[in-house]
Homo-oligomer: A and B are copies of this chain.
Amino acid sequence: MAVTLHDVARRAGVSIKTVSNVINDRPNVGKTTRALVQAAVEELGYTPNLTARGLRSGRKGAIALAVPDLALSYFAELAAAVIEAAEAAGVVVLIEQTGASREREVALLKSPRLNMTDGLIFSPLGMGQDDVDALRVDYPLVVLGERVFDAPADHVTMHNVAGARAATEHLVSTGRRRIAVVGAHAGEVVGSAGLRLAGYREGLEAAGVAFDPELIGYSELWHRADGANVMRELLARGVEFDAVFGLNDTLALGAMRVLQEAGLRVPEDVAVIGFDDLDEAPYAIPSLSTVDPGRGWIARTAVSLLLQRIESGGGASTARRHVADFQVVARESTISPVS
C-alpha cells in the first residue's frame, strides 16, 4: 500500500540508501542523482515511515506531556503552548492525563507507553518529596512545578513565592490591609499552594501588616467552585477583609462571583487578584488582576530543554533549573477605572 524507499529506489534506478540520503539531506549525493531521486519521490508521493525510522534511529519525533487534567484551564493553556513550541521544532506531542493522582503519576513514569516518545515533560500534582526516586528515569525528562525539589532531572518552574509576594504588595500599594487568601492547603510547604502562601506572608511582613489566620480560606482543589465555596464560607464567618488573593485565577474568579452576588463591589469594596493570567482573566467583569507566571516561556523552555537532552543522547549530566520571570498584571479588579 504505502510507498517505501524501495519503490522510490526502483523508480529512480538507485539504491535505497541513496534515496535515504536524499531524504535526509546527507551531503554525499551527486546533484543529478539528487534531482532524479527527488523527482521519483514527488511522483510516487513518498512519505517516510516514522515508525521504522524510530525503530532504527531511536529518534521518534514525538514527546509526551503529562498533566493532571486538560479540563483545568491552566493546563489546557500550558498544553497549547507546549504543542505550539514543539510543532515549531517539528515534534509532535502526546498527552497523558494523570488526574493529579500520586499513584498514576508514579506509574506513568515507568509506563511502556512512554517509549513511543523521545522524552517527557511532566507536571506532577500528587507526588511529593518522597517520590523523588521515581524521577530517576533513563529517558530525557523535564519536570514542571515545585512538588519535588532536588529532582534528578531538568526543572522549569515559576516564581511562586516572589510572584505571590508581589501580588500581595500590589494589594497593599492600593491601600488594602485585610487580605483574605483563597485556596490554601493546610500544612503544605512545597507545592504551589504552600509557596504562594509563603509569598503572601512575606508580602505582609514587608509591609508591616500582621498575619491573621482568620483570613486564610482552605480548599483542596482549585476549581472555580472551590473558590466560590471558600468565599461563601469567609463571608458567613463574618471576617472583615478589603481584598482577596486567589491562589490561582479560577479560585479568584469563583470568589469574585460570590462577592458580587453578596452585593459587594469589586474593586471598590473588595479588591481581587489571582495567579496564572488565564486567557479569560482580561474578559471577566471586572477584568481580573493577576500574576502572569510566564506560562508561554515555561512551555518554550521546557520543550527546548527536553529537545537538548534528546539531542545530546540523554547523557545524565547535571540537572538544570530554570525559573520564569513573572509580572503582576493590574486590571480592574484591583484598580478602579478613572471615573
Contacts and interface: CB of A to CB of B under 8 A. Distances in A.
Interface in A40-88: 47-52, 54-55, 60-62, 69-71, 73, 76-77, 79-80, 83-84, 87
A94 B55 contact: no
Nearest to A229: B283
A280 interface: yes
Given A60-B51, A115-B50, A116-B50, A97 B83 contact: yes
A279 B79 CA distance: 18
B283 A257 contact: yes
Contact of A51 (B55, B225, B228): B55
A300 interface: no
A61 B115 CA distance: 12
A7 to B, nearest CB: 15
Nearest to A116: B50
Nearest to A70: B80
Given A51-B115, A92-B96, A76 B70 contact: yes
B60 A71 contact: no
Contacts of A47: 110, 112, 115
A329 interface: no
A266 to B, nearest CB: 12
A113 interface: yes
B116 A95 contact: no
A3 to B, nearest CB: 11
Interface string A84-108: 1001000011111100000000000
Contact of A94 (B70, B71, B93, B260): B93
Contacts of A258: 285
Nearest to A49: B115
A94 B97 contact: no
A207 interface: no
A62 B92 CA distance: 12
A1 interface: yes
A224 interface: yes
Nearest to A1: B138
A85 to B, nearest CB: 11
A254 interface: yes
Nearest to A50: B116
The 5 A-B pairs of least Cβ separation, nearest first, read A257-B285, A76-B76, A47-B112, A224-B283, A70-B80
Interface of A: 1-2, 47-52, 54-55, 60-62, 69-71, 73, 76-77, 79-80, 83-84, 87, 92-97, 110, 112-113, 115-116, 138, 223-225, 228, 254, 257-258, 260-261, 279-280, 282-285
